[in-house]
């Protein structure tokens, strides 16, 4: 199976008197007839060109002459390596420069808060990234593509955070339009002009669902828009954070680690993003708290090891909130029946204030729905918190909390 280029190349080589090692039966017309025609000649190039004019159209002959003495070459990785720039980071392990970073989360999780807080940290010198690492490029410009067109919210937040708004540039819909559409040249040119003029260290696009009139489910449409954004950041060599939503069935869940399957739209969105971050609300108690701690983590990376997740808290301040970063919160787990029994056992002994015989505990436990086997299992789970006052098989043995005798003496 020969490609068109291979067939044209073979005709060009034969015209130059070179061996090709190919047989004419493997060619398609008109290259098959051109190849056979040249084989019947004595190798004179000018005669060969005259013969080809009788079997090829002008454009086709032009293709042959253009490839004459021009070998098809394929560079090795070693040769390519000499021209490839090294991978550089804006935020090591999280946001690479010159590549797309996706930030996904359920509605209300705080994606825009985190994205604007990253802008604040890039604008002001002396701050650090959320994981505490220094910011080598602090003090630069940032571009915030406000595709959801709510600049008053961004401005209000910037005021509360005392951001230097002179270094933060919003890209809004054109005056005669209601939305930004990166499938059209007007908005593409707008972003390119801003990027070249401002030389930002970070571009935030908020959000993916608002920058394309073609949607986010078609691979072709997603490839077109994200390919454009990729070209922009490659040219400027800055970081780009693209906010994105999770699927509806995931949006209501607040616990568990996110995966690429949780992200809405075409799988190509996650494929073209070299770093994918997830932001989720973590339930740390029996009841869900929408103002509770968040977990910021890298869901996917092609660039190295996964960094440890980071905890994010919304701290009220001045009518709004500031973000506080720290250890990632642990998700609440519903206690097992045995754990509930163990808690009851401790409560009974605390209220009694003295050792209690196992048979009495079993009688009381049955009233609460705990059978003998479960009570003894709970006793084992408590381990050293409970002690025997006598031998385990002694009729006088009772169970007591550690330290009960010290309390008696005092």
User: b/e map of 146-178 (b: 16 or more CB within 10 Å)?
Assistant: bbbeeeeebeebbeebebeeebbbebbbeeeee
- For residue 310, give the nearest of 153, 160, 118, 122 by alpha carbon: 118
Q: Tell me, what's the pLDDT at 42?
A: 75
Q: How confident is the model at residue 400 (pLDDT cuts 50, 70, 90)?
A: very high
Token couple for 396: 């006088």
State the Cα–Cα distance between residues 137 and 199, nearest whole angstrom: 12
pLDDT in tens, 226-242: 999 999 999 999 999 99
Q: What is the mean pLDDT of the chain?
A: 91
Of the segments 134-138, 256-260, 293-297, which one has the largest average pLDDT value?
293-297
pLDDT reading at 86 higher than 60: yes
pLDDT reading at 85 higher than 70: yes
Q: Please name the residues in contact with 369: beta carbons below 8 A apart, sequence gap of 6 or more.
A: none
Largest CA distance in the chain: 120
The answer to whether the beta carbons of residues 183 and 218 sit under 8 Å apart is no
Report helix angle 45-52 to 58-67, nearest 10: 150
HSE-up (13 A, CA, CB side) for residue 301: 17
From its phi and psi, is residue 188 left (phi > 0), alpha (psi between -120 and 50) or beta? alpha
Between CA 293 and CA 106, with CA 129 as vertex, the angle to 5 degrees is: 40
Give the mean pLDDT of 337-346: 93
Q: Tell me, what's the pLDDT at 348?
A: 94
- Is 246 strand, coil or helix? strand
Q: How confident is the model at residue 84 (pLDDT cuts 50, 70, 90)?
A: confident
Q: Tell me, what's the pLDDT at 250?
A: 54
Q: Tell me, what's the pLDDT at 406?
A: 54
- Is 15 strand, coil or helix? helix
Of the segments 17-21, 250-254, 257-261, 321-325, which one has the largest average pLDDT value?
321-325
The answer to whether the beta carbons of residues 121 and 142 sit under 8 Å apart is no
pLDDT in tens, 18-36: 888 888 889 999 999 999 9
Q: Which domains does the chain have, with CATH numbers?
A: 4-67 (no CATH), 89-327 (3.40.50.300), 337-409 (1.10.10.10)
State the Cα–Cα distance between residues 149 and 138, nearest whole angstrom: 27
Token couple for 264: 């809405």
pLDDT in tens, 378-394: 999 998 899 999 887 88
Token couple for 196: 């070249």
Q: Tell me, what's the pLDDT at 318?
A: 80
Q: Tell me, what's the pLDDT at 256?
A: 59
Q: Which residues pair with 316 in a beta bridge?
A: 321
From its phi and psi, is residue 318 left (phi > 0), alpha (psi between -120 and 50) or beta? left
Distances in Å between the alpha carbon of 120 and those of 33, 202, 209?
68, 11, 24
Between CA 182 and CA 190, with CA 184 as vertex, the angle to 5 degrees is: 70
Please state the length of the chain: 410
Q: Tell me, what's the pLDDT at 408?
A: 47
Range of lowest pLDDT (8-17, 271-280, 301-310): 8-17
Q: Tell me, what's the pLDDT at 148?
A: 87
Sign of the alpha-carbon torsion through 137, 141, 142, 143: negative
Q: Output the pTM of the full model.
A: 0.76
Sign of the alpha-carbon torsion through 405, 406, 407, 410: positive
Q: How confident is the model at residue 75 (pLDDT cuts 50, 70, 90)?
A: confident
State the Cα–Cα distance between residues 332 and 339, nearest whole angstrom: 14
Give the mean pLDDT of 325-351: 92
State the Cα–Cα distance between residues 4 and 25, nearest whole angstrom: 14
Q: What share of the chain has pLDDT > 90, as a percent?
A: 72
**End-to-end Cα separation, the chain, in angstroms:** 95
pLDDT reading at 251 higher than 50: no
Kindly report the backbone phi and psi dihedral angles of residue 393, in degrees, each rounded to the nearest multiple of 5, phi listed first.
Answer: -100, 0
Helix, strand, coil % (nearest 5) of the chain?
40, 20, 40
Range of lowest pLDDT (77-91, 158-172, 303-317): 77-91
Q: What is the dihedral of CA 222, 225, 228, 234, to 10 degrees?
A: -60
State the Cα–Cα distance between residues 280 and 293, nearest whole angstrom: 9
Outline where 68-217 has alpha helix (H).
Answer: 77-81, 111-123, 151-160, 185-198
Q: How confident is the model at residue 255 (pLDDT cuts 50, 70, 90)?
A: low
């Amino acid at each position: 199976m020969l490609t068109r280029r291979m067939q044209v190349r073979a005709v060009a080589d034969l015209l130059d008197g070179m061996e090709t090692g190919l047989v004419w039966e493997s060619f398609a017309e008109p290259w098959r007839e051109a190849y056979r025609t040249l084989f019947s000649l004595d190798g004179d190039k000018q005669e060969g060109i005259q013969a080809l004019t009788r079997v090829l159209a002008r454009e086709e002959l032009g293709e042959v002459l253009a490839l004459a003495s021009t070998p098809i070459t394929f560079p090795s990785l070693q040769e390519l390596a000499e021209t490839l720039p090294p991978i550089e980071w804006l935020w090591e392990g999280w946001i690479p420069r010159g590549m797309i970073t996706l930030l996904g989360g359920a509605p209300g999780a705080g994606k825009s808060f985190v994205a604007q807080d990253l802008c604040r940290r890039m604008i002001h010198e002396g701050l650090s990234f959320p994981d505490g690492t220094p910011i080598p490029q602090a003090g630069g410009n940032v571009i915030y593509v406000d595709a959801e067109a709510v600049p008053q919210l961004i401005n209000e937040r910037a005021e509360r955070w005392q951001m230097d708004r002179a270094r933060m540039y919003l890209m809004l819909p054109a005056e005669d339009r209601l939305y930004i559409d990166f499938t059209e040249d007007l908005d593409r040119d707008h972003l390119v002009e801003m990027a070249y003029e401002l030389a930002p260290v970070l571009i935030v696009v908020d959000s993916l669902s608002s920058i394309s009139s073609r949607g986010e489910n078609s691979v072709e449409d997603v490839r077109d828009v994200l390919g454009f954004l990729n070209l922009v950041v490659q040219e400027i060599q800055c970081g780009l954070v693209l906010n994105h939503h999770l699927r509806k069935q995931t949006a209501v869940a607040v616990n568990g680690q996110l995966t690429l399957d949780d992200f809405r739209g075409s799988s190509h969105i996650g494929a073209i993003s070299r770093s994918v971050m997830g932001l989720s609300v973590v339930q740390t108690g029996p009841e869900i708290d929408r103002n509770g701690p968040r977990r910021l983590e890298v869901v996917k990376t092609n660039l190295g090891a996964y960094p440890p997740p980071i905890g994010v808290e919304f701290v009220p301040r001045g009518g709004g909130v500031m973000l506080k970063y720290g250890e990632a919160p642990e998700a609440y787990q519903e206690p097992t029946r045995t754990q509930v029994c163990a808690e009851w056992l401790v409560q009974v002994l605390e209220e009694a204030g003295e050792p209690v015989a196992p048979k009495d505990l079993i009688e009381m436990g049955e009233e609460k729905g705990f059978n003998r086997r479960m009570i003894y299992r709970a006793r084992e789970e408590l381990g050293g918190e409970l002690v025997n006052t006598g031998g385990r098989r002694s009729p006088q043995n009772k169970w007591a909390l550690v330290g009960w005798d010290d309390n008696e003496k005092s």
